[in-house]
A and B are shown apart, each in its own frame.
Chain A
């Protein structure tokens, strides 16, 4: 079974803090994604990466950055957390090519910024 793990299930941070969310997948997938999930808005893509050290902006990249130094690990960074970044963050991975649409998700990190 594909496994996507996220470093924390729940996280509480203060406004202005630098926040790191970590994601690890164990199936040698080329693609990795970060989404945020908010009620009434569904999933919105923040960033994705199709290879080590490669990244592309998604639909809502403002206030976020990412890092992919190893194939299995994709980190989301909030440089200076703000209350409007309180959300559920989901990491996903997928193969390249014809099955790239089949994304495997982690359980999510619920981040609260106070």
Chain B
């Protein structure tokens, strides 16, 4: 079945540091890939997506590239802010119907 593996947290960075959160996946066919973010006390919200190989999703300074050859979708940001502190979930949808498979989440803490 489909699965998503992401790096364990928590990840603690200083403000303006470079962020990478690793994500790899296993899926049948050609899945769409996503990053969702959960800010403290809130539900998850879609951060960015990529629907085919070599697509780059981007939003709010975050980027992730769909790498079919390495089955990866790593999240990056060049300069993190305190307001980026949240839990980040990698996810996929392999079509067929509405089901989205989520990773376990990576908590990011940015300190001033």
Which A residues form the contact surface with B (CB < 8 A)? Answer: 4, 31, 33, 40-43, 45, 48, 50, 58, 90, 92, 94, 96, 100-108
B22 proximal to A (CB < 8 A): no
Supposing A50-B98, A96-B98, A101-B32 touch, asked if A90 and B104 sit within 8 A by C-beta, the answer is no
Additional pairs, 16, CB under 8 Å, beyond known A48-B99, A92-B43, A101-B100:
A4-B43, A40-B104, A41-B104, A42-B102, A42-B103, A42-B104, A42-B105, A43-B89, A50-B97, A50-B98, A92-B44, A101-B32, A103-B100, A104-B45, A107-B42, A107-B43
Interface residues on B, range: 10 to 19
B41 proximal to A (CB < 8 A): yes
A-B contact pairs, 15 of them (CB 8 A): A31-B98, A42-B102, A42-B103, A43-B44, A43-B89, A43-B102, A43-B105, A48-B98, A92-B43, A101-B49, A101-B100, A103-B100, A105-B45, A106-B43, A108-B43
Point out the residues of chain A lying under 8 angstroms from B45, CB to CB.
104-105
Point out the residues of chain B lying under 8 angstroms from A48, CB to CB.
98-99
Contact of B105 with A101 in the complex, beta carbons under 8 Å: no
The complex places the Cα of A4 from the Cα of B42 at a distance, in Å, of: 11
8 Å CB contact of A101 from B41, B43, B89, B98: B98
B93 proximal to A (CB < 8 A): yes
Point out the residues of chain A lying under 8 angstroms from B89, CB to CB.
42-43
A-B interface, 3 closest residue pairs, ranked by CB to CB distance from nearest:
A105-B43, A42-B104, A101-B93
B73 proximal to A (CB < 8 A): no
Point out the residues of chain A lying under 8 angstroms from B17, CB to CB.
none
Contact of B43 with A90 in the complex, beta carbons under 8 Å: yes
